[in-house]
Structure 1
Amino acid sequence: MLVDLRTYTMVPGRLKAFLELYEREGLPIQQKHLGNLLGYFVTETGDLNQVVHMWGYEDAAEREARRTAMENDPEWIAYRKKSADAGNVQHQTNKLLRSTSFSPL
């Protein structure tokens, strides 16, 4: 399994607005294209104002195909513009994690 781990750091005071917009407009599009949401979290300790989410894929080829389809979806393009215009996200990072032979995932 390949896990796409993303961390978004919000502008302080903008976390709630980001989550509301994402849940209403972004999540349905991502679920349609990406399929396997493993988890969506907010931080309570450590670096604050962060959203962490994980999506699972069989391999890199599946991830590439699914993300390409999503990036070409006019609804996703419109959502990304709306989200960017809202000015909620300050910084983002992305890691691809490969599961070990003994991982439960």
Structure 2
Amino acid sequence: MIIEIRHYTYYPSEFRPFLKYYEEEGFSITSRHLGETVGIMTGISGIANRTFQFFAYKSYEHRLECRKGFLQDPVKQNFTSVADKAIIQQESILIEPTKFSPLFGEKSEKPLMKKEDGSLRYFDLTTFHVKPGRRQEVLELLEKKMLPLYKKYLSYEVGYFTKHYGETDAVLAMWGFDSEQQRMDQMKELENDPEYQKEITKLYALINGRESQMLQPTTYSPLR
């Protein structure tokens, strides 16, 4: 299983109109072709006017077949024409779930995709920039030491992933929260735990840094 995260940055004046167009027309096109749609979200930290789209595929070959069908769809031509006028920059990264990832991993406990009351959550997508050759150590530390702490303090675990192509030593984590305030409160509680302080010190010795992107799902995102 692989997941493609597609980042799009839009012209400010085109951002809201294109989101409306994508909900009304574009979503049905991409959902029809691009594997399993996991999430359609907007960035609420860092670069403004940005969307993050998550698509899952059974394999790299499956992704290629899906993209072939997408490119051959006649309706796609008009969609592309509209998108090209709105988008400044686009980037695609491929990640694979770890065996201990709730999402698409080997764990029996799967992540909550949506809340029963229909309310939208907030998601934290954190990238750990691992020092060359130290990725396996980071994964072992996450699985054996950090996960019990994340599970204790954070509302929703979504997934843990490794990156392929580009910065291949990177490790990604995704968590969900009911609000931005809840994230701040829970992260503070986590960071005050002496056990966490001990383990995060070990982690920092294995990485060059970390960065977090806060995401808000659209109302039609499967993961929300």
Q: TM-score, normalised by structure 1?
A: 0.90
- Read off the aligned partner of 1:94 and give its amino acid letter: S
After TM superposition, give the deviation of residue 45 of structure 1 in Å.
Answer: 2.3
Aligned match of 1:67: 187
Instruction: Measure, in 2, the Cα distance between the counterparts of 1:28 and 1:8.
Output: 18
Q: Does 1:9 align with 2:142?
A: no
Q: 1:20 to 1:95 in 2, by over 3 A?
A: same
Map Cα deviations across residues 7-37 of structure 1 (whole Å, 9 max, x no partner). 1111110000111112111111111101311
- Read off the aligned partner of 2:163 and give its amino acid letter: T
SS at match of 1:43: strand
Q: Does 1:48 align with 2:168?
A: yes
Instruction: Measure, in 1, the Cα distance between the counterparts of 2:168 and 2:213.
Output: 19
After TM superposition, give the deviation of residue 47 of structure 1 in Å.
Answer: 2.4
Q: Judge which range, 39-48 or 51-60, deviates more.
A: 39-48
Instruction: State the aligned residue count.
Output: 103
- Read off the aligned partner of 1:78 and give its amino acid letter: K
Q: Does 1:99 align with 2:217?
A: yes
Q: Does 1:18 align with 2:138?
A: yes
Match of 1:81 among 185, 198, 201: 201
Instruction: Measure, in 1, the Cα distance between the counterparts of 2:146 and 2:210.
Output: 16
Larger Rg: 2
Aligned match of 2:147: 27
Aligned-pair identity in percent equals 32
- Read off the aligned partner of 2:176 and give its amino acid letter: G
Instruction: Measure, in 2, the Cα distance between the counterparts of 1:81 and 1:38.
Output: 23
After TM superposition, give the deviation of residue 83 of structure 1 in Å.
Answer: 2.3
| Aligned-residue RMSD, C-alpha | 1.2
Q: 1:80 to 1:15 in 2, by over 3 A?
A: same
Structure 1, unaligned runs of 5 or more = none
Aligned match of 2:208: 90
Instruction: Measure, in 2, the Cα distance between the counterparts of 1:102 and 1:3.
Output: 15
Instruction: Measure, in 2, the Cα distance between the counterparts of 1:78 and 1:54.
Output: 22
